[in-house]
Homo-oligomer: A and B are copies of this chain.
Amino acid sequence: MTAENKKAAEWIKLLQNSGYRQTEARNTIVEVILETNRALEPLEIFEIARKRQAGLGLVTVYRTLERLEALGLVQRVHQPGACNMYLQAPQGHQHLLICTSCGKAEFFNGDDLTPLMETVAARSGYQITEHWFQLFGCCADCQRK
């Protein structure tokens, strides 16, 4: 059993524990998300998944993403070109690093941001509750090309 299969089984289990049923459509959609290392739009997920499961509906992709996001398994990603992309969520709170060439997404820790946020809070008078931090660049593989 590969790492992806194992994670897929975990996700399905979590869905079931929340009262959702295991279906072919959900299995396929979960697999597609887990084996992709970049954020995907609903339509992209649909097109990949449809090749494996004829008859799958785009609506089901939207509905499954909604449930996966509510369970915190998937994360919505905003990018300049598209702001409704979905990616497997990391452990805890992490920040994204995205390759502008191939789209590959990696997470990193941003604990270092706390002092800056405190300075901004003090200067502005705002009580800061949330932050978005995302880096864009060219990954090692794409630099070689």
Contacts and interface: CB of A to CB of B under 8 A. Distances in A.
Interface string A38-80: 0000000000000000000000000000000000000000100
Contacts of A99: 126
A100 B116 contact: no
Number of copies of this protein chain within its complex: 2
Interface of A: 78, 83, 97, 99-100, 106, 108, 110, 112-113, 115-117, 119-121, 123-140, 143
Closest 10 CB pairs of A and B: A125-B140, A128-B137, A83-B83, A130-B136, A126-B137, A132-B134, A127-B138, A112-B116, A78-B78, A129-B137
Contacts of A115: 112
A115 B108 CA distance: 14
Contacts of A78: 78, 83, 132
B108 A125 contact: no
B132 A132 contact: yes
